[in-house]
Structure 1
Amino acid sequence: MQQAIEFMQEKKFEESAKLFTEIIEEQPEDPVGYINFGNLLMHLHELPRAQRFFEKAIELDEHAATAYYGLGNVFLEESVFGKAQENFQKAIELGLEEGDVYYMLGMTLQNQEQMKLSLPYLLRATELEPNDDEIAFQYGLALAQSDHLNESKTVFEKVLKLNDEHSDAHYNLGVIALYNDQTDKAMTHFDTALSIQPDHVLAANGKEQTQKLIDENKE
């Protein structure tokens, strides 16, 4: 099993599939082989087949939390957000206490435009994965979209401590600064975002709007 997982991590998918097939043939009643094969099929973007393997694992063990997590990922990839949400919630109910499942549930709710409902799950994800800048960024974004600007500012600043090259965090801090009439600070953040990512359209637009405000104030 360990060798098959290592092959998958090394992107040696054929070797990994061969070993997982042997494991399932030797232990057809063990859900773990089906879950891991499902994960491999997710890597290969073979979603209908992955779904069948996760469902088989659940058939063998209805308490297999990682099988529900895998199934949630399949539905998220297929943009079937209601079913994705249902499966991520089931995985958490069954005791899967990992940052990824809370993050995925939060993102699923965001995709259903339920920003406020996503907040506790994204917060929990940041607690479980405190050094993941992307999880922190999405939590900050959900806060901003729920009109919690002061809290989102704090989170975006934390994102930059984790990754000072995060152009989207700079852009959003620029927007918040602009909202607070801090045009110089806004300009600095938009400039920094563009120096990191020159094709950042939103930052370019933000810089243009900020420059107009600065020019108007000079008149």
Structure 2
Amino acid sequence: MSAFEDFSSSGSEFRDLLSRFESGSEGFYDIDEYEDLAAYYLQHAQLDMVHQVLKLALHCFPDAPELRIKKAQYLAALQNTQEALVILNQLEDLIEFKYDVYMIRGHIYSQIACSEQAIEQFKLAIPHADEPEDVYTALGIEFLNAHKPSDALYYLKKALKENPALDALYPDVFLCFEYTAQLKEAVNFFHAATDHSPFNFQAWFYLGISYLKLPDPPQAIKAFEYALAIQDQSVVARINKAQAHYQLEQYLLAIEVLNEALVIDDQDAQVYFSLAEAYQAIEDYNQALVFYNKCIKCDPAWADAWMGIAMVLDHLNRITEALHYIRKAVEINPQESEYWYVLAEFQQKMGFYEESEQAFQRVIECDYAESDVWMDYGCLLIQMDLYDKALDIFLQGIKQFPKFIELYYLAAAALLKLHQRQSALELLEQALQMDITKCELLFETIPALSLDLEILDLINSYKSKDSWV
């Protein structure tokens, strides 16, 4: 028997064997029976029982390679990887066990984050596999974990070609398509899957997800409706169908679908969160608060719900309360730059400028991907009369986002306040050449510049060149 035998539908004969062993009945067990018992307990992660089986088995059959394979698996499950590898190395020359040796060794290398070695072992297992889809699956998952989605997709497709019933691979297949920006190909793939298996819930569901990400929400809704026709109690299909309605700004329809989901499961935090977002979108802020709070009651660590409450309270001019909720979101997930950004803005509104400056710095440290933080952070520093710091922020922003014109005007304004007039004029001229329509930002930042004749003449010279009004 393979080390990877599936006991999900054990027959009566095996159940009798299991009952006999667990009741402590004395009697003879052959190698195959010990192997079956060890495999069953390994599959169910009952390591104490594996230990009992192997202790008895190896006492009776100390040199049986089938049982030593199981011991290697057991040791790997205990994180005793070196001992497991020693056993596998000793068994590698036995041709009938090569498949198990390579597969177990591959999983061990995967377990200790040696991805290249794991992949090498899985590939060695291919010619020895009776069911190659298991090896292809292992390779696909390993490549995905190694952030190589193109390679992962290749092997996952091979696994599905060998066994189209492996719809448990669809989530990973979709991730590969998403990571490689092949959403149209994902649609084609899952369309083909629905053609092959028209009553397969997973195929319709991931077709819907593919359309949702494309985005093509009308087609996503159709796919989710087919999925729900197959599994009418699916909460996750309803959540995503509601998301498609949300994309179409059909907020009331989204709410209707989500309320259907609540009838099925009233303890699903995602349903409450999605309802809160939909109510927030139609400006029913009281209901939004109700459902954000219900989300938090189901899952206190749902950081986006804490931020959602903060945003609603801010809209209702309850900024002091909002500050508490956004701080909670930051506490739950301190690596999320968006939370720090909102916290910085709220603190700035409250006049807590030093705290706001610290929060903006955290936004940058968390690798916030958009350009606006450099402008907002720098403008806060100007508000604090820290023009040298503001200039540094604007220049850093220009380095990362050289086409973000506003930063050039703001940096020029900071240079003028720092009495570096020549550098300011050079930067201003560069900004005017790029986009003169943003020049008013200069005067909004430093109103006194509207009386600076040299600045006005420079701007007017570009206005006349571009016939700008």
Which TM-score band applies after superposition, normalised by the shorter structure?
0.7 to 0.9
Contact in 2 for aligned 1:4/1:20 (Cα 8 Å): yes
State the partner residue of 1:18.
222
Q: Which segments of 5 or more consecutive residues in structure 2 lack a partner in the other structure?
A: 1-204, 398-404, 410-434, 451-469
State the partner residue of 1:194.
406
Give, in angstroms, the shift of residue 176 of structure 1.
Answer: 4.1
What CA distance in whole angstroms lies between the structure 2 residues aligned with 1:196 and 1:135?
A: 27
What CA distance in whole angstroms lies between the structure 1 residues aligned with 2:305 and 2:338?
A: 14
Question: How large is the Cα RMSD of the aligned pairs?
Answer: 3.1
* Structure-to-structure mapping, 1:24-63, within 5 angstroms: 24-63=228-267
| Cα distance change on mapping 1:80 and 1:166 into 2, 3 Å | same
What CA distance in whole angstroms lies between the structure 1 residues aligned with 2:212 and 2:294?
A: 26
Name the TM-score, length of structure 1 as normaliser.
0.79
What CA distance in whole angstroms lies between the structure 1 residues aligned with 2:257 and 2:376?
A: 41
What CA distance in whole angstroms lies between the structure 2 residues aligned with 1:13 and 1:210?
A: 51
State the partner residue of 1:124.
328
The answer on 1:92 being equivalent to 2:305 is: no
Contact in 2 for aligned 1:190/1:207 (Cα 8 Å): no
Residue type at the aligned position of 1:122: I
What CA distance in whole angstroms lies between the structure 1 residues aligned with 2:361 and 2:284?
A: 33
Deviating more after overlay: 170-179 vs 84-93? 170-179
Q: Once superposed, which parts of structure 1, at least 4 consecutive aligned residues long, lie more than 6 Å away? A: 190-193, 196-202
Deviating more after overlay: 95-104 vs 79-88? 95-104
Contact in 2 for aligned 1:171/1:189 (Cα 8 Å): no
Contact in 1 for aligned 2:218/2:244 (Cα 8 Å): no
Pick aligned residue for 2:371 from 148, 151, 166? 166
Deviating more after overlay: 191-200 vs 153-162? 191-200
State the partner residue of 1:208.
446
| Cα distance change on mapping 1:84 and 1:8 into 2, 3 Å | same
| Percent identity of paired positions between Structure 1 and Structure 2 | 17
Contact in 2 for aligned 1:175/1:206 (Cα 8 Å): no
Contact in 2 for aligned 1:159/1:166 (Cα 8 Å): no
Residue type at the aligned position of 1:157: Q
Q: Which segments of 5 or more consecutive residues in structure 1 lack a partner in the other structure?
A: 213-219
The answer on 1:2 being equivalent to 2:206 is: yes
Deviating more after overlay: 114-123 vs 129-138? 129-138
Name the TM-score, length of structure 2 as normaliser.
0.40
Contact in 2 for aligned 1:37/1:53 (Cα 8 Å): yes
Deviating more after overlay: 12-21 vs 47-56? 12-21
The answer on 1:175 being equivalent to 2:380 is: yes
Higher relative contact order (CA 8 A, sep 6+): 1
Give, in angstroms, the shift of residue 201 of structure 1.
Answer: 8.7
Give, in angstroms, the shift of residue 84 of structure 1.
Answer: 0.8
Residue type at the aligned position of 2:349: Q
State the partner residue of 1:217.
none
Number of paired residues? 211
State the partner residue of 2:119.
none
What CA distance in whole angstroms lies between the structure 2 residues aligned with 1:99 and 1:200?
A: 37
Larger radius of gyration: 2
| Cα distance change on mapping 1:89 and 1:78 into 2, 3 Å | same
